[in-house]
Amino acid sequence: MNEDRTSKKLLQLLENDLAVRARLVNENNLTGVYHPEMEEVHKDNADELRQIIKEIGFPGISKVGKEASEAACLIIQHSIAEPAFMKACYQLMLENESDINKKYLAYLHDCILYFEGMPQRYGTQLNSDGTIYPVIDVEQLNDLRLQYGLTPVSQEDMGHILPTEDIEWLEAQNSGYTQWRNKVGWKSRP
């Protein structure tokens, strides 16, 4: 697969992902549990990206351009039904850190922790009410965010971050989602 074709493919995959998401949101069908159509799109995209990685390695900026590399990072972040794939890609991103937009490392790191039911580091993941999911160290949050090219969190928003001890309570608010995470391998406890 040549560089231009690979870039176009990555952009098409993300465009389709976002179009399906927008339609489901518009139909008010993207609440609660992971929508099966969205899950199918994400799994198909992960399969396509696996093939690309097999052929060219991680699609960094030098290989596919900035926009397509960022599309690849979002495809990875959206492949939430495949924990092993996300974790393997995180390692590839670390190995190619100088060839990607670093903010995607922070997003993926937090996304993995979020789905594992652990406190996040960079404050990129939100609760269903729009507040920031619990973080490991609120005091260092903005310093860490700046290191990865993320905007600082306002003091008001920081004041709404629940303590890490409340993660279990947060998870109990949506038992269907917790069951789904157990099923796909994010969590091993019932």
Kindly state the percentage of the chain with pLDDT values over 70.
97
Name the amino acid, one letter, at 18: L
> How many distinct structural domains can be found in the chain?
1
Q: What is the mean pLDDT of residues 166-190?
A: 85
Q: What is the DSSP string of 77-126?
A: HH-TT-HHHHHHHHHHHHHTGGGS-THHHHHHHHHHHHHHT--BSS---B
Name the amino acid, one letter, at 28: N
Residue 111 lies in a domain: yes
Q: Is the pLDDT of residue 3 over 80?
A: no
Residue 190 lies in a domain: no
Provide the pLDDT confidence category of residue 89 given band limits of 50, 70 and 90: very high
Residue 189 lies in a domain: no
| Structural domain of 34 | 3-184
Q: What is the pTM of this model?
A: 0.93
